């Protein structure tokens, strides 16, 4: 994704996609959250070609989502561990999972999220931490932030936001 520039570069979503836009990246992160740390574990789990895995792992390390650590000196062996930035990606993954379960699992969900204590299935929903309100298109909207430029401001003019 070394694209020079593209529509709405300054948008945080676009910037996020620069790091995880390639589709293997997200699946690698998914596996990392399941506890996978080693090269060949990723490879077996994903069925990805080794050279591609190298490329994607390096990209994730460069983006600061994974950390490459030497866990054995002779012979040199590395593990790939989630950084804080990587761990912060989990809500995105869970939101994606919930969406997929709702819309693309006619026979019922194959993977769910459960409460560690009770084992009860969770129903992931996005809320505003400040007010506790559920975030829907009716109650919230996007808006220019403090670092917005003129371009952003025009995009988020209230007149535009027809879809609620």
Partner DNA sequence: CAGTATCCTGTCCGATACTG
Partner DNA sequence: CAGTATCGGACAGGATACTG
Phi then psi for 102, rounded to 5 degrees? -70, -40
Q: Does 55 bind DNA (CB under 7 A)?
A: yes
Q: x/- contact string, 75-114, with DNA (CB under 7 A)?
A: x-xx------------------------------------
Q: Does 1 bind DNA (CB under 7 A)?
A: yes
Q: Does 118 bind DNA (CB under 7 A)?
A: no
* Selection from 47, 51, 43, 46 nearest residue 27 by Cα: 46
Among 13, 23, 117, 138, binds DNA (CB under 7 A): 23
Q: Does 39 bind DNA (CB under 7 A)?
A: yes
What residues form DSSP beta bridges with 77? Answer: 72
- Cα distance between residue 92 and residue 95, in whole Å: 5
Q: Does 39 bind a copy of itself (CB under 8 A)?
A: no
- Cα distance between residue 64 and residue 69, in whole Å: 13
Residue 110 has what DSSP assignment?
A: S
Q: Does 71 bind a copy of itself (CB under 8 A)?
A: no
Nearer to a copy of itself, 74 or 120 (CB): 120
Q: Kindly calculate the radius of gyration of the chain based on its CA atoms and give it in whole angstroms.
A: 19
Size of the site for a copy of itself (CB under 8 A): 102
């Amino acid at each position: 994704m070394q694209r020079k520039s593209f529509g709405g570069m300054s948008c945080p979503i676009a910037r996020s996609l620069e790091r995880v836009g390639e589709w293997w990246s997200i699946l690698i992160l998914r596996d990392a959250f399941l506890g996978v740390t080693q090269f060949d574990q990723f490879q077996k789990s994903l069925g990805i070609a080794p050279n591609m895995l190298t490329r994607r792992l390096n990209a994730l390390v460069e983006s600061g989502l994974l950390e490459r650590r030497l866990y054995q000196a002779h012979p040199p062996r590395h593990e790939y561990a989630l950084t804080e930035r990587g761990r912060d990606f989990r809500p995105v993954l869970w939101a994606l999972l919930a969406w997929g379960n709702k819309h693309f699992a006619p026979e019922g969900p194959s993977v769910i999220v459960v409460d560690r204590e009770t084992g009860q299935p969770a129903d992931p929903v996005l809320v505003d931490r400040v007010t506790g309100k559920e975030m829907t298109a009716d109650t919230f909207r996007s808006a220019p932030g403090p670092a917005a430029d003129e371009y952003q401001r025009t995009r988020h003019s209230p007149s535009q936001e027809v879809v609620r």
